Structure 1
Amino acid sequence: MNTYNFTKICMQDDTSTMKANYTKSESNFLQSCVAIGSLAASIPFSVAFQHLPHKPVFIVAGIISGVSTGLVPLASTLGYGWFVTARIFQGMAFSATFPLAGSITANWATPFEHGVFIGLLTGNTQLSNIFTMPVSGWLCSSSGGWTSVYYVHSGVSLVTFSLFFLFFKSSPREHSWVGEKELETIERGKVAKKISRPKDLPFRHILTSLSLWACWIASFGDLITVQLVSQFNPQYMKNYLNYDVLSSGFLAALPIIFQFITKLSSGIISDRIKFINETLKAKIFNTIALAVAAVFFIVLAFIPQEKHLLAIIIMICAESVMGANTAGFNKCATLHSQQYSYFSMQQIMNIWACTIFIEPFFVNMIVKDNTFIDWRNCFLAHAILLLFVNTIFCFFADASPAKWTRLNNNNSEDVIVETSEKERYDTFAIEDTKL
């Protein structure tokens, strides 16, 4: 899905017969129309995750992703409408990623491993950009041109989903590599009765949860800024800082590498901290991800164009700390919604799709000529939004399991292992030492 974010800048310099001339509004729509596909596929994928094993559902998403990406060069020669259609299908595939991340965390993580699981699973966005930006820069500069970007990504997608098909199991109970002791450790302290039918989904409780709304609002501010990074870093590097295409690819990926390291580290650190409760931890990490990032963006806004190195360093700092969202709103949502994590994460996925659609028009409304004032106003606007949504999160977030996660169809309590947090932690500590 990220391929066009980079190829749009090398299409400008294309002199071959594959050259595609689009207006600014057409280019914006090509960049954002993946959100249409993601939102359109949201309900079908959500229903599929409710009714079907998660493995075949995600395999279908992988096939859609690989095939639609491989057909983009052909679609571009057939006409603008065909190009848009291929991009929409790329977005449809993306819609399945976050529900699977929530499901895996709920099924596979122990009560004290949510942070590291969410860090790794939601890190797919950083890992994809770390691959896409430098590889696309190299391919665009090669004899293969911009079309080779789509062929390579299509091939990689099909290979990785083949590996997924071979090794993934939806539940630890289904996996031959999981022993009895490991299974017991994974399942200890979880709700014993899993509810999966649509009529059992507590919509009223979920949609009136102030904590989940705080997570979703925080995710909007965070993800729209993430889109600034993933969609416009190449443009910022090439058209503002005046780097060539190849250098832009590697430099645009550099901050995202540090962001992924922060994302994974924050998840691990959050899981290891035991002397403060989960809600306070979520608020602290969310403030690092959003408020501290906002401060760096404010600084970046006032760095003059000729200070290339300083701008890149501050951008790395701003984008790196945003990785702490793993232990912020992401972890808070999964802990609060427990077995319904797939649904709460689906809404974050939908918000992500909305930000993909909004961001190109929002940024291009501000950045008209790639001037210092344009980028200053762009960074300041995102900083203000980050500060605002983080304030809402800190007021209303609650990372403790919601009461409605323990209710069955008859509104009675499900069977839960009655152990205190300290007792569970001591048990895990002993088992970790044995391992």
Structure 2
Amino acid sequence: MSSHADNDGNRNENLQHVPSEIPPENKENKLISGIVIVSLEKKISLVLLWVSPGIGTFLGAVPSIWMLRAIGERRLFAATLFISSAATFWLAFMLSNEWNEFAIAGLRFVQGVAFASTFPVIGSLSANWGTLKEQFFFITWSILFVESAPVLTWPMCALCLKYDSKLPYLLLAVMTMLFALIWVMFYRDRPQYHPWVNGLELNKIVTGKVRAINNRTLEDQPFHLLLKSPAVWATWSAAFGYFLVVTLVAQFLPIYFYTLLGEEETNSILLADIPFCFVVVFALLHSLWNIMTHSCGSWLSVVLTNTLSFSICALVLILFAIFPPNALGSSRIVMAFTVLLVCDAVSVYGFGYSAVLVGRYFTQHIVANMQLFMGLAMIVTSTTVLLTVRSNSPNEWRLVFLASAALLLICAAIFGFLGDGKAEEWAKQSWDPSAARRMISADLIDYHHDECGIVEMRLLNQ
């Protein structure tokens, strides 16, 4: 999925191939090439060019959840990585003027559909491979690593753009294919199918899950229960707010530096990459943030963490709207966006932890459906910028920041009223956190596969 997430780092290069019919008024206030256009066909093609990944992600989320149940996350994720790699590869050869923008938008839609499997896989992997305490660790790191993808790819793209505009796409396609092969080679859908997991490790992983795995009816049809839960809707609304900030920065920050601050193309990408580097540093201190944000009661911790996070993010966006970019300068803007992304990452310790507490073993379904809200955030962000930014003036960007801040505060309010830190009734018996004995049932073992740890388990029973 990195090829889709990282494509945003090259958007300013892509947009240069969309001809603008209105020339820039002066060099200091560059126009986002292609946004200010007269032709209706050009307007539609440009909108689709930007919005198509979000539409693909949104429409592909539910089919990805169905496919995961049918073929498992190992096959599903490998297939979507291969599809994403192929789409990125073909994009390298479709940037010339003879290709229609609608065809490019179609490939970007395919990238969005491929990306739609990410959160269903994260949810399933966390439930199957983590203990109850480790599940939140799996989810947090997975979400933050999706956000941190530009740390690796954007500097690489900036370097490649000096030589050939096709190189970033080709390298990203190769990297995605490589990740797909690694995934197929080393990942297994269940720990009991993996040759490197012994009986003691398997015992620790599956402790307390017997009831959940035996309850196939609830596991196969959880969606109607999720829709009836206010706490789940609160989690999804907070996830939408989180993704709103991520998509805004990932899609438009390089262009913001390039067009409003007059930075060179390569410098714009590298400057925009700095805030994401601090997100990686933030993720490495997971244990510290986990202790700090969850020192109070469950409900108070998740609500307070999420509310403070979104409030600070909204304040930063409002400050962007108040002060013109030329008055702040590139260095201060980098610092401000760093604060924005790090505070946004803190919110995962609010709504993400709430999802684990509310859903327990069925948290995987809550996380899987977050993909819908990420796709929605991508659509809302792109549409807002395209409808608002026409001449690329600071006043137009001011409206974008204010609209984003307002949506964040609404998401914070929804989570503050509806968020919870207690398990739902349908999830209470799904995972027994007090179960600390060794596995006394062989129900979890599938004897039709080469199982790990059988000898060790028998020795334990003896």
Alignment TM-score > 0.5, same fold: yes
* Partner residue, 1:355: 377
* Partner residue, 2:120: 99
Q: 2 CA distance for matches of 1:43 and 1:115?
A: 23
Q: 1 CA distance for matches of 2:148 and 2:431?
A: 39
TM-score between both structures, scaled by the size of structure 2: 0.81
Instruction: Report how far residue 415 of structure 1 moved.
Output: 8.0
Amino acid at match of 1:101: I
1:5 maps onto 2:40 in alignment = no
Counterparts in 2 of 1:415 and 1:86: CA distance versus 1, 3 Å: closer
1:73 maps onto 2:92 in alignment = yes
Q: 2 CA distance for matches of 1:153 and 1:198?
A: 39
Of 338, 344, 356, the residue aligned with 1:322 is: 344
5 Å matches for 1:208-357? 208-263=228-283, 265-266=285-286, 269-270=289-290, 275-306=295-326, 307-308=328-329, 309-357=331-379
Q: Mean alpha-carbon deviation: is it higher for 4-13 or for 81-90?
A: 4-13
Of 426, 448, 451, the residue aligned with 1:404 is: 426
* Partner residue, 1:175: 194
Which structure is larger by alpha-carbon Rg, 1 or 2?
2
Q: 2 CA distance for matches of 1:6 and 1:402?
A: 40
TM-score between both structures, scaled by the size of structure 1: 0.85
Counterparts in 2 of 1:300 and 1:204: CA distance versus 1, 3 Å: same
Instruction: Report how far residue 266 of structure 1 moved.
Output: 4.8
* Partner residue, 1:47: 66
Secondary structure at the aligned position of 2:392 is classed as coil
Deviations 1:148-181 (A, max 9, x none): 2211110010011111111112222222222333
Counterparts in 2 of 1:264 and 1:397: CA distance versus 1, 3 Å: farther
Tell me, yes or no, if the aligned pair for 1:301 and 1:376 is still in contact at 8 Å: yes
Unaligned runs of 5+ in 1: 407-412, 421-435
Q: Mean alpha-carbon deviation: is it higher for 189-198 or for 53-62?
A: 189-198
Q: 2 CA distance for matches of 1:298 and 1:355?
A: 19
Q: Mean alpha-carbon deviation: is it higher for 200-209 or for 236-245?
A: 200-209
* Partner residue, 2:48: 29
Tell me, yes or no, if the aligned pair for 2:209 and 2:431 is still in contact at 8 Å: no
Q: 2 CA distance for matches of 1:199 and 1:106?
A: 12
* Partner residue, 2:137: 116
Q: 2 CA distance for matches of 1:401 and 1:368?
A: 47
Tell me, yes or no, if the aligned pair for 1:110 and 1:186 is still in contact at 8 Å: yes
Instruction: Report how far residue 246 of structure 1 moved.
Output: 0.7
Amino acid at match of 1:397: G
Counterparts in 2 of 1:377 and 1:168: CA distance versus 1, 3 Å: same
Q: 1 CA distance for matches of 2:255 and 2:67?
A: 38
Deviations 1:4-57 (A, max 9, x none): 433331245569xxxx97845523321210122223322321112123222011
Deviations 1:264-288 (A, max 9, x none): 5356632687653333222232124
Deviations 1:318-339 (A, max 9, x none): 1221111221212322332233
Deviations 1:280-332 (A, max 9, x none): 22223212431121122222322332221222211211122111122121232
Q: 1 CA distance for matches of 2:390 and 2:424?
A: 46
Deviations 1:219-261 (A, max 9, x none): 2222122211111101111101111111111111111121233
Tell me, yes or no, if the aligned pair for 1:115 and 1:271 is still in contact at 8 Å: no
Counterparts in 2 of 1:39 and 1:13: CA distance versus 1, 3 Å: closer
Tell me, yes or no, if the aligned pair for 2:85 and 2:173 is still in contact at 8 Å: yes
Instruction: Report how far residue 108 of structure 1 moved.
Output: 1.8
Q: 2 CA distance for matches of 1:107 and 1:285?
A: 27
Amino acid at match of 2:253: N
Instruction: Report how far residue 199 of structure 1 moved.
Output: 7.9
Please provide the CA RMSD for this pair: 2.6
Q: 2 CA distance for matches of 1:197 and 1:252?
A: 47
Counterparts in 2 of 1:31 and 1:264: CA distance versus 1, 3 Å: farther
Q: 2 CA distance for matches of 1:32 and 1:24?
A: 12
Q: 2 CA distance for matches of 1:107 and 1:224?
A: 29
* Partner residue, 1:126: 147
Tell me, yes or no, if the aligned pair for 1:114 and 1:331 is still in contact at 8 Å: no
Q: 2 CA distance for matches of 1:87 and 1:256?
A: 23
Equivalenced residue count is 408
User: After the TM superposition, which parts of structure 1 deviate over 6 Å for at least 4 consecutive aligned residues?
Assistant: none
* Partner residue, 1:139: 160
Q: 2 CA distance for matches of 1:416 and 1:250?
A: 47
* Partner residue, 2:204: 185
Secondary structure at the aligned position of 1:2 is classed as helix
Counterparts in 2 of 1:32 and 1:167: CA distance versus 1, 3 Å: same
Q: 2 CA distance for matches of 1:386 and 1:200?
A: 33
Tell me, yes or no, if the aligned pair for 1:111 and 1:190 is still in contact at 8 Å: no
Q: Mean alpha-carbon deviation: is it higher for 5-14 or for 232-241?
A: 5-14
Counterparts in 2 of 1:48 and 1:143: CA distance versus 1, 3 Å: same
Identity %: 23
Amino acid at match of 2:170: Y
Amino acid at match of 1:201: Q
Secondary structure at the aligned position of 1:74 is classed as coil
